[in-house]
Amino acid sequence: MAEKTALIVYAHQNKRSFNAAARDVAVQALSKQGYKVFVTDLYAANFKASATADDIKGDLQDPENFVYNTEMMVAWKDGRLSDDIAEEQHKVQQADLIIFQFPLYWFGVPAILKGWIDRVLTQGFAFSMQNMYDTGIFKNKKAIISLTTGGTESMYQPDGVHGDINILLWPLQARSTFT
């Protein structure tokens, strides 16, 4: 049986946080199940959150009218993405399972994780206009959202002060590149 691989994309600054404990438990549990586990600690790696032309090695296709998505797709095809992006894409390709571990910040993912999503899951690599969502490139990979809220369960109910957690997470759950 082939070894399964998991990638944990971890976004929390505090090494002693509940998120860190959840990450560590996931590493232990997956390792016991025979997974090879990679962890990308975005804060420890000082992962750049902003998507810029610096993500591309070499000349831009249209430097006068920079369109990030278009330029990234061309750079991905040509193997000209920055080293940090190429490394993360390699991990995603290897992974059978991806776990996103993070605290909910202002009803969304932390900026550093949003930057990982924007910069790593590029057009061509993670999706195309013809292949997305349930027919996407990574449709056979599994993803888990593991998050903390800093609030009680009742706060994230349909009638709670923050609203239904499923509506807050809809962009991550319903339109995911993964199953």
Annotated catalytic residues are 150, 156, 162
Q: Which of 112, 58, 56 is nearest to 85 (CA)?
A: 56
Euclidean distance between CA atoms 115 and 118, whole angstroms: 5
What does the angle CA 23 – CA 47 – CA 151 come to, to the nearest 5 degrees? 45
Q: Which two tokens stand for residue 101?
A: 């571990």
For 177, the token pair is 């590149």
| Dist CA 75 CA 122 (whole Å) | 10
The full DSSP string for 31-49 is HHTT-EEEEEETTTTT---
In DSSP notation, 60-78 reads: -S-GGG--HHHHHHHHHHH
Residues 6 or more apart from 137 whose CB is under 8 A from it?
125, 126, 127, 128, 131, 177
